[in-house]
Structure 1
């Protein structure tokens, strides 16, 4: 059911600005793939070329072996697209908006109410789109992208305006789509979202791919120390500091904190002394990888 995507030296320029600079990667059929990067990195432009909304000035892209820029009707029916900015037909209710989309694809009418329920808008079905909140409009936009049950779904920052409950519910919906064999490609600024959902992620900046791997592999590559915290103030600090890999032992808000590159040795030592009360272990995250690769300076 899912489709593969091949991107080869994809390039887009606007005058002297190179927005996407010979980007190359593949998305496997049925994969959940994430494009991560700072503002202006080239994520949305790359996604729009894969969707066929922009024609590259160099390189090529195929979706299931077909160039999307050709606007092949058979391929378009297999693609679901949610854009970064939502735009709806004026003066239509949420149900009428979604009904318009399902008619374009020849989908049964029953699909409309099912999708409204899926994205938590069943109680807003008869509300005009201009009267919906920003988060509700975002959810309706996602419903429009999914109403025809596509084989590949492109989502550009799908949870940007959602509250925590709606965000988690959408995660479940997208994970369910992917579990059923569909290919999902998204851009997001939420690193926890990418870490939770994506099989692989590409970190892009200044139009180039900096890293491409599974979230777990990227986190391991950072080789960052682990911080272990526990509620205990009577442990011999000198012995802790002498353990292999321990870099620092201190106190933070009443908790003993141990920074180490070898957490297994520390945890074994603590377990042998029955000193695991209030234990928490914090390692590196995908956000740490992102900041390490792209820098910490402010991006407008």
Structure 2
């Protein structure tokens, strides 16, 4: 029995079709990422699987059962960190997490462990309403994990975190996977998804355009690569218009060009007068596969 099985799921809002005949199979113990550009239908799909909304067409099973109507026995086996988490805002961090633990029959020791592992010890006795957005994000994930669920749903869990906090959280997620928890993860970062996930499903325009392991997705990129051009940010429009470049973005380190053939790209850069001093070339990544499949940035 797969923990998550969705077949032919369709859903529309105000006449706009958000999901179109979507199939999703999540294997037990896997870390399954669902990625896609804004508006691809990621959150709607996950909400349907969780039972937060009803699919207009298709079928869904969660741990072998229909998620609707709601069943407390099923909910007790699932952990959910949505984009907007409800907190006991006037409670302290400790009071909030220990209360959630008690509701699910988990121990206070488990809540204490998560507070320390999530790096929340310094705000343990602070009211939830007074801690930072990043600290609330970590508390939301801890609340979803406190009862050691069989399936854990995470909706862009690292979006509000700084680099150090992301590192702490990613370490916790790796340990959850090692414990055998099945994780369904909507990704804010393709780089993070590539590092964490066993399987990645790419959604675009409400359809599944690919489902495979990160390595298989990367292998499908036809010789693609990413080229970092530190001094070429003013040339963004020129680089974007080159036939050798599939997409170009600006990062903190310079202009990043996604190319199919490195040699062809460098010939084109030279002809266009694009500076290549300090250039760095990286092999194809899931981000390259994503751009090739969708023509968009995540």
| TM-aligned CA distance change 1:3 to 1:148, over 3 Å | farther
Higher Cα radius of gyration: 1
8 A contact 1:49–1:69 mirrored in 2: no
| Structure 1 residues 177-256: aligned runs within 5 Å | 177-226=176-225, 247=264, 252-253=276-277
8 A contact 2:29–2:182 mirrored in 1: yes
Residues in 1 aligned to 2:171 and 2:34: alpha-carbon distance in whole angstroms: 19
8 A contact 1:10–1:23 mirrored in 2: yes
Residue segments in structure 1 that go unaligned for 5+ positions in a row? 230-244, 256-279
8 A contact 2:77–2:151 mirrored in 1: yes
8 A contact 1:116–1:122 mirrored in 2: yes
Measured after TM superposition, the shift of residue 156 of structure 1 is 0.1
8 A contact 2:158–2:166 mirrored in 1: yes
1:168 maps to 167
8 A contact 2:5–2:60 mirrored in 1: yes
How many residues align? The count is 258
SS at match of 2:101: helix
Measured after TM superposition, the shift of residue 49 of structure 1 is 0.7
Deviation readout 1:74-107 (Å, 9 max, x if unpaired): 2111100000123212311111111221121122
Deviation readout 1:114-140 (Å, 9 max, x if unpaired): 111121101111101111111001000
Measured after TM superposition, the shift of residue 32 of structure 1 is 0.5
Residues in 1 aligned to 2:208 and 2:163: alpha-carbon distance in whole angstroms: 30
SS at match of 2:220: helix
| TM-aligned CA distance change 1:116 to 1:228, over 3 Å | closer
Deviation readout 1:7-31 (Å, 9 max, x if unpaired): 1011222231111111002000001
2:288 maps to 288
Residues in 1 aligned to 2:79 and 2:119: alpha-carbon distance in whole angstroms: 19
Residues in 2 aligned to 1:254 and 1:46: alpha-carbon distance in whole angstroms: 43
Measured after TM superposition, the shift of residue 295 of structure 1 is 2.2
Residues in 1 aligned to 2:89 and 2:296: alpha-carbon distance in whole angstroms: 41
Measured after TM superposition, the shift of residue 226 of structure 1 is 5.0
1:277 maps to none
2:142 maps to 143
Residues in 1 aligned to 2:17 and 2:129: alpha-carbon distance in whole angstroms: 36
Residues in 1 aligned to 2:296 and 2:26: alpha-carbon distance in whole angstroms: 28
SS at match of 2:55: coil
Residues in 2 aligned to 1:128 and 1:79: alpha-carbon distance in whole angstroms: 26
2:50 maps to 51
- CA-based RMSD: 2.3
8 A contact 2:9–2:22 mirrored in 1: yes
Measured after TM superposition, the shift of residue 252 of structure 1 is 3.4
Deviation readout 1:151-210 (Å, 9 max, x if unpaired): 110000000001111111211111111112110010012011100000110110111111
Q: TM-score, normalised by structure 2?
A: 0.81
